[in-house]
Homo-oligomer: A and B are copies of this chain.
């Protein structure tokens, strides 16, 4: 049997920590390095950072170059920030060390939309070094794009696509709640959104662009509506925050893809405390019409951890270059020993 798959974690924040815990449980894979900039993590053993009762012999390093040196990483799981402009040099440094990259950077899920030049450079660099770069996660990366694309396969014609994700923010971590403005006054919310102090959900434009690309739809424009606060109509409370009536309990974002003024893709994302009905719904108006619903919605962090780790075998076997989820084989859970999934994937021999 092949050697264990060697992984370096680039980013040991909220999501990186969850991925680390999951990888430690899995067979056929080994964490061989960890990178983070947080002062309370740098220099500590990864086991200590994760709050485990044991040391793992992996010291969290501030310096990516040294963490990646001489460890022979097969893949680097990159979980730092949402914007490709910021993550670009980090990803370049990984690719130059000839490791494959799986990143939760939201813009990287479909980088051709907001950063086509950086995407082109990454693609060339990855091909030069013989590695694959993939941006993924539950959203963007799956629920509002890859799964939508998959369902279009049953359609002969399509008029319009509508996707809704509604989640109860009370079930999510504090940093997510902050990102969506929970507890702010409406005025504070609008200010912080305007000056980008809070971002809301990043990735809806990328999801629309990926769907359009898969369908060969040439959109004239992808239009993001102003982010709307959801207002608590009574005081709501969870173990992390208390939101008084009249304050912001979360947000609603709508992004639309248009051709000649006609809306043909609409993504609607809603995340707020105490959302009564949580779901992921896809409606494809076409021949035939498809009405699909996942209820309750998939938990963001749990799903992202799964998708990232489940992508490892496909990325290891993929052609070199910058890929998106739609370019890879049908996604699937890499249950049990990760090596079994690497060895059973079909080779990508050309015809």
Contact = CB atoms under 8 A, between A and B. Distances in A.
A329 to B, nearest CB: 6
Contacts of A149: 330-332
A302 interface: yes
Given A216-B341, A295-B291, A333-B215, A351 B306 contact: no
A306 B344 contact: no
Contact of A351 (B132, B286, B345, B346): B132
Contact of A319 (B156, B288, B347): B347
Contact of A348 (B151, B216, B303, B319): B319
Nearest to A154: B303
B333 A155 contact: yes
A85 interface: no
24 contacts: A130-B351, A131-B351, A142-B153, A150-B330, A153-B331, A154-B303, A154-B307, A156-B306, A158-B333, A286-B333, A287-B302, A288-B306, A291-B295, A291-B296, A292-B292, A292-B294, A318-B351, A319-B350, A319-B351, A320-B349, A327-B330, A330-B330, A330-B331, A347-B350
Interface of A: 22, 130-132, 138, 142-143, 146-147, 149-158, 213-217, 286-288, 290-296, 298-299, 302-303, 305-307, 309-310, 318-321, 323, 325-337, 340-341, 344-351
